[in-house]
Amino acid sequence: MEDREIGKEVPKGQRFVRDFIIYAAMTIPTVNIDEYRLTVDGLVDNPIILSFQDLEDMVDSDYSKDFHCVTKWSVKGVQWSGVKFSAIANKAKVKSEATWVMFYCLDGYTTPVPLEDAMVQDSILAIEMNGLPIPRENGFPVRPVIPQLYGWKSAKWLHRIEFISEYRDGYWEFYGYHERGNVWEEERFKGSDWKKIKRSVFRKE
């Protein structure tokens, strides 16, 4: 993925807003940092369980990137620091059959990401946002940040990473959102029947 300067290039269909709009499709969990554990399993030779301290000890990345939600708002220059996803994957020794990653959250939310997107250089497990621990409503203590994908792939309150060999829907994908969700390709919805899917979701609420 080519590097785009902060705020300079606005992806098609997006506009900048001043601050994050909090999305919590389920609830906002409270996490006791001493009890927090991140499980890394599925198609790996070395399943691992990491504490928050383990992640802090592995921090290797710090950058600012624009954040893009599929509902068309973007936030300019959000600073993140954390651990490269590839470092975690290497520690777990991902098997060659793995092609997708499923992220599981403490609120019950899930989202799948193609392994090749998760493995890019600036794909990280963030533990700080704008120089501070991630605020509770923004996903404390850990969320993946994969800048080339829409915000719904940034799973807040992350607690499990599973490597899998076949695509499965997560929370929003079930309702018709795109399997990959690349911002620059404007992959908002699956196929061409998204309008139908969207209407049926709204009717439910």
Query: What residues make contact with ligand MTE under the rule CB under 6 A?
Result: 20-25, 69, 105, 107, 109, 138-139, 151-152, 154-157
Q: In the range 109-128, which residues lie near Mo ion by CB under 5 A?
A: none
20 contact choice in ligand MTE, Mo ion, none (CB below 5 to 8 Å, kind-dependent): ligand MTE
Cβ-based neighbour number of residue 6 at 10 Å: 13
157 sits near Mo ion (criterion: CB under 5 A): no
Least Å distance between CB 23 and Mo ion? 5
Residue with smaller CB distance to Mo ion, 61 or 74: 74
181 sits near Mo ion (criterion: CB under 5 A): no
Alpha-helical runs (H) found in the chain: 52-58, 85-92, 115-118, 171-174, 194-204
Residue 94 DSSP code: B
- DSSP, collapsed to helix, strand or coil, labels residue 4 as coil
Answer left, alpha or beta for residue 76, where phi above 0 means left and psi between -120 and 50 means alpha: beta
170 sits near Mo ion (criterion: CB under 5 A): no
- Cβ atoms of 150 and 188 within 8 Å: the answer is yes
Residue with smaller CB distance to Mo ion, 100 or 152: 152
Least Å distance between CB 97 and ligand MTE? 27
- DSSP, collapsed to helix, strand or coil, labels residue 199 as helix
- Cβ atoms of 84 and 195 within 8 Å: the answer is no
Letters for 30-69 (x = contact with Mo ion by CB under 5 A, - = none) are ---------------------------------------x
Binding site for Mo ion (CB under 5 A): 69, 151-152
